[in-house]
Chain A
C-alpha cells in the first residue's frame, strides 16, 4: 500500500505524511561519504585562493564545506614568526610543531565531517611530500572519507612574485617587515620546500589516486580518476575560474510601473524614473571606460528595456528572470496578506526555503542561477541587469552570505554594485545613480525567531557562509585530553620562540588511531 503524501507547507514538497524529517532539496543529494579535498603545492601557488573560492562555491550550492588551513594552526602555536629559518628541513623542533599542527587540523577535519554535519573539508597545506600525503590517505581510509587532491603547479616567476605581493606580504607573519624584506624572506621559504617536493605522479606512484593537477594557473589540467558527482563538479569549477583582473557590475532593472504600485513579479515596463535610471546607467557605463563589457539581462521586459538604453549588444538569460511568485504574481503584499494569510506568514518564517504555491523559492533560484555563476566565472567584465531576488542570490555567492541572510540582502533600485576580486575575496562598491525610486525591500519581521533551527539539514541546498576557522577560538578550551606541555628547553633557546609565548604541544596521536608521529 503506497504511503499517504502531504505537501510540506513551506517548501511545497510532497513527502510521505509520517516522514516529516525528509527534506528534499531542488535536486538529489549526491555526496554520500564525506570528502576531504587535499591541496598540494609549493607556497604561493594559489592553494589558499582555490581553497577559499571552492569552499564559497560549494557552500553556495548547498554542500557544507570548510577550509582547514594548517598555516593558521602554525601561527597559533608559534605566536611570533621570526624568519624563514622556521621552515628549514633540518629545524627539528619546527618540523615537530608543523607535524602536530597538521594532525590537529586533521582532528578538526574529522570532527567537522563526523559530528558537525560537514560534507566536504578542504585541507589547505603544502602537502608536498609523499610521506605527508600517505598519512592523509590512511586517515581517510580509517574514517571512510573520500580523498581528492588538488595540486597547483606553477613555475612562472612573475605569477609567483605577484601572488606573494598580493597575499603574503600583508600576512600576519610579516606584520613587522617592509615589503622587500617580506618578499625576500618568503622566497627563501619557498626554497626550503623545493628540495623535498614530490609532485603527484600520475604514471606510477599516484596513478590510483583521484586528483587534478592545475598547471600554470589553469592553462593546463591533468585529471585522474574522478570518483563521483561532487568531484566532477569541483573539476568543472576549477577549470572555469581564472585570475584575470576584472569587474562585475550588478544592478536591477530601472523602476517599473509595477514597482510603483507595490506589485510583485509580473512583466511590466519601466516607469519614467526607471527610464531616467537607464540613461544614467548608460552614462555610468561609459565613464567606467571598460574594454569589452558584456551586458546580460533577463527575459523580462523591464530588464531588457533598461539594457536597450545602453546602446550596446546584450544577451538575454531566462535563468535571470525574477523569482516566480506563482499564485501571488502581480499582487501587492497587502493583497497577498489578505488572500493568502497563511502563505504570507510562512514566507516570513523561512524566506529562503519558502516556495510560493505554483512558484519558486530562493532555494530554487540558487539552482536556476548556477549556470550564470559558472559563466560569470569564465567571463571578464560583465554588467548583469536583473531583479531583486536574483541579485540577492548572485550577491550571496560573491560575498559568501548564508541562506539565512540572502533573502534580506539590500539590493535597492537604481544602485549599481561594483564587485572587484581582490586577494582572497571581493571588494564591493555601492554606487547610487541618484535617480529616485520606490523602496522594495522588506525587512525580516521582528516577531520571527531567527536561527537555523531544524531547517538546515545535511545535504539540502542551503547556502552556508564559509565557516570561520577553528583558530579564532582559543585552543586551550579544546584540549580536554592531554595536558599542556612545555617544549624542551632547547627549543626556547631558539630565537623564534620568545619566552612569553610557549607553544602548546598539540595532542595528535590518540585521535588519529594508528597514524604515527614521526
Chain B
C-alpha cells in the first residue's frame, strides 16, 4: 500500500491534531445547581475560562441574563415567589431559550462544553435538562454548590450582587434585604441532588467553598479534568505577580531565544524588582523562575528562596534560536510569513508553538490556583500565555499581548474576574514586541515582513 505523502505542516488546520489528543466526543453540558449566592456564576466563569484556555471550546449560558432580557425592569423579590404564576412562566421560557441556544452552540458553533448557569434547584427542572440532553446526545455533569455559612453568603452578595443590573438603583441595605428574601423564595423548594435517587447521575457536590467534595460517576477525561480543577481552586484573597527576566544580552542584539545572562540594565531591573517586592509587603511570597539563566539571575537579586520550573522556559524557536528577525526573514522567509498568518498555532521547525506552550504551562496554572501569593519570573511568550489565562484572552489575541521588559503585572482576583495593575520599574530596556505586519502573504517582500520589527543593536 502506497503511503500518503506525509507533509509537515507546522501551520495546523483548526480541526487537526493539537499537542494533545482532543478528548471530547459527545458535547458536554455542565449544569450548575444551588441556591443564589453560592458561587455558581463564579465557578461557571472560572471553569469556562480554564477550559477555553486549554483548548476546549466552552461557553456559559446564564439564565439570569435571559430573564433580564425578558423582564426589562426588576422590581423586587416578589418576582421569585413560587406562587407568582406569570413570573414562573417567564422563568421557564427563559430556561428553555437558554437550552435552545446551547443546542445551537453545539451544532452550529463547534462548541464542546456548555455551562448552564442557573439555580436548577428542583428535581423537575433537572429532569427537563436531562431529558433534553438525552434527546440531543449530550453528556450531563452537575456541579452543586452547598454552603450554609452566613458570612460567606453575605460576602458573596456584597461582592457581586450589589453590582448587578437588578440593583443598580438601590442602596446597599435595601439590596441586601431584597436579595435575602429572594434566596428564601428558592429555599422552600430546594431539593439538593440526592445521593440515593440520583446515584446514576454524574456530579460533584462542593461543600463550604471546597472544604469537602462528593464526586459521583465521572464518565470521561474532560469530567475528570473539571473535577481536578474545581478541587484545586480557592477563594482566599491573594495576588499573583508576573514579570519577565531583566533585559538580557540577546535582547539587546534583537536575537530571540538562547540562554544568556542579564545586561547591565537587566541587573539594575533585578535590584529594582527586589525593592519593589519588599515595598509590597507580601506575606509568604513564593517565587518561581524558569531554568534559564536570565530568570534565575533576576530571582537571585531578590535574596529569597525561589523554585525553578522547566515548564516556564521560553518558547523553543527550534531552527530559529538566537537569530534576529532579519536573519529569520533571510533564511526562512516562508516560515516567517506562516508565523504571521497564525501566530498561535504556528510551530517553529524543531521547536514549539504557543499552543504547545499552553499545554506545557497547564501544571503551572494548576499550581498557581492552589497557591496564594506568587511572583513568576518568566519570558515574553510564556507570560503572554499566563496572562491570557487570567484575563480570558482568546487564542488570536494571546500572541500579541503586551508584556514589555522591566514591567511587573500585579493580578488580584476580584468579583468574577481579575484586576490588573502594571508597574514599570523605571529602568530603560529594549522593546521586544513585534506587531502583526500588514502583509502576511508568503509572496511579500522583506520590507513588508520586517515592517514591525522593534529596534535593536
Interface residues of B, count at CB 8 A: 48
> Which stretch in B16-24, B97-105, B390-398, B410-418 binds the other chain?
B16-24
A331 near B: Cβ within 8 Å?
A: no
B456 near A: Cβ within 8 Å?
A: no
In the assembly, what is the distance between CA of A299 and CA of B4, in Å? 16
Which residues of B from 12 to 44 have beta carbons under 8 Å from A?
A: 17, 19-21
A-B contact count (CB 8 A): 120
Contact in complex: A236, B21 (CB < 8 Å): no
Which residues of B from 296 to 328 have beta carbons under 8 Å from A?
A: 296-297, 300-301, 307-311, 321
Q: Which residues of A contact B6 (CB under 8 A)?
A: 269, 301, 304-305
Q: Which residues of A contact B310 (CB under 8 A)?
A: 26-27, 364, 367
Q: Which residues of B contact A221 (CB under 8 A)?
A: 213-216
Q: Tell me if A's interface is mostly helix, strand, loop or mixed.
A: mixed
In the assembly, what is the distance between CA of A226 and CA of B213, in Å? 10
B249 near A: Cβ within 8 Å?
A: no
A325 smallest CB distance to B (angstroms): 11
The residue of chain A having its C-beta at the shortest distance from the C-beta of B370 within the complex is: A229
User: Which one of B20, B224, B293, B359 contacts A7 once the chains associate, using CB atoms below 8 Å?
Assistant: B293
Given contacts A239-B224, A240-B224, contact A316 B215 (CB under 8 A): no
Q: Which residues of A contact B309 (CB under 8 A)?
A: 26-28
Given contacts A16-B300, A224-B212, A269-B6, contact A28 B370 (CB under 8 A): no
A175 near B: Cβ within 8 Å?
A: no
Q: Tell me if B's interface is mostly helix, strand, loop or mixed.
A: mixed
Return the CB mask of A83-98 against B: 1 if under 8 Å, else 0: 0000000000000000
Contact in complex: B21, A28 (CB < 8 Å): no
Contact in complex: B224, A2 (CB < 8 Å): no
Which residues of B from 270 to 313 have beta carbons under 8 Å from A?
A: 270, 288, 291-293, 296-297, 300-301, 307-311
B211 near A: Cβ within 8 Å?
A: yes
Which residues of A from 308 to 341 have beta carbons under 8 Å from B?
A: 308-309, 315-319, 329
User: Which one of B20, B214, B217, B296 contacts A222 once the chains associate, using CB atoms below 8 Å?
Assistant: B214
B363 near A: Cβ within 8 Å?
A: yes
In the assembly, what is the distance between CA of A16 and CA of B370, in Å? 29
In the assembly, what is the distance between CA of A364 and CA of B291, in Å? 12
B120 smallest CB distance to A (angstroms): 21
Given contacts A220-B214, A232-B231, A318-B359, contact A301 B370 (CB under 8 A): no
The residue of chain A having its C-beta at the shortest distance from the C-beta of B195 within the complex is: A220
Which residues of A from 223 to 266 have beta carbons under 8 Å from B?
A: 223-226, 229, 232, 235-236, 239-240
In the assembly, what is the distance between CA of A269 and CA of B213, in Å? 49
A13 near B: Cβ within 8 Å?
A: yes
Q: Which residues of A contact B227 (CB under 8 A)?
A: 239
B170 near A: Cβ within 8 Å?
A: no
Contact in complex: B350, A27 (CB < 8 Å): no
Q: Which residues of B contact A375 (CB under 8 A)?
A: 221
Given contacts A2-B300, A27-B311, A229-B367, contact A299 B293 (CB under 8 A): no
In the assembly, what is the distance between CA of A223 and CA of B227, in Å? 11
B97 smallest CB distance to A (angstroms): 34
User: Which one of B224, B293, B321 contacts A5 once the chains associate, using CB atoms below 8 Å?
Assistant: B293
Contact in complex: A232, B300 (CB < 8 Å): no
Interface residues of A, count at CB 8 A: 50
Contact in complex: A225, B212 (CB < 8 Å): yes
Q: Which residues of B contact A364 (CB under 8 A)?
A: 310
Return the CB mask of A368-392 against B: 1 if under 8 Å, else 0: 0001000100100000000000000
Given contacts A13-B291, A26-B310, A301-B6, contact A226 B231 (CB under 8 A): yes
Q: Which residues of A contact B215 (CB under 8 A)?
A: 220-223, 239
Contact in complex: B17, A219 (CB < 8 Å): no
B334 near A: Cβ within 8 Å?
A: no
Contact in complex: A13, B212 (CB < 8 Å): no
B118 smallest CB distance to A (angstroms): 25
Q: Which residues of A contact B292 (CB under 8 A)?
A: 14
Name the residue in A24, A29, A315, A371 with the highest tally of chain B Cβ atoms < 10 Å from its Cβ: A24
Q: A26-B311, A220-B217 are in contact. List 18 more A-B contacts (CB 8 A).
A: A2-B267, A5-B297, A5-B300, A24-B308, A27-B309, A28-B288, A28-B309, A219-B216, A220-B215, A223-B214, A223-B231, A225-B212, A229-B370, A296-B21, A301-B8, A304-B6, A315-B17, A358-B259
The 4 closest A-B pairs by CB, nearest first: A28-B307, A315-B21, A318-B19, A2-B300
**Which residues of A are at the interface with B, using a C-beta cutoff of 8 A?**
2-3, 5, 7, 12-14, 16, 24, 26-29, 202, 219-226, 229, 232, 235-236, 239-240, 267, 269, 275, 296, 299, 301, 304-305, 308-309, 315-319, 329, 358, 364, 367, 371, 375, 378
* 30 cross-chain CB contacts under 8 A: A2-B300, A3-B300, A5-B296, A12-B291, A16-B300, A24-B291, A24-B307, A24-B308, A26-B309, A28-B288, A29-B307, A221-B215, A221-B216, A222-B212, A222-B214, A222-B215, A223-B212, A223-B213, A232-B228, A239-B224, A239-B227, A240-B224, A308-B4, A315-B21, A317-B19, A318-B19, A319-B20, A358-B259, A358-B321, A367-B311
**Which residues of B are at the interface with A, using a C-beta cutoff of 8 A?**
1, 3-4, 6, 8, 17, 19-21, 199, 211-218, 221, 224, 227-228, 231-232, 259, 261, 267, 270, 288, 291-293, 296-297, 300-301, 307-311, 321, 350, 356, 359, 363, 367, 370
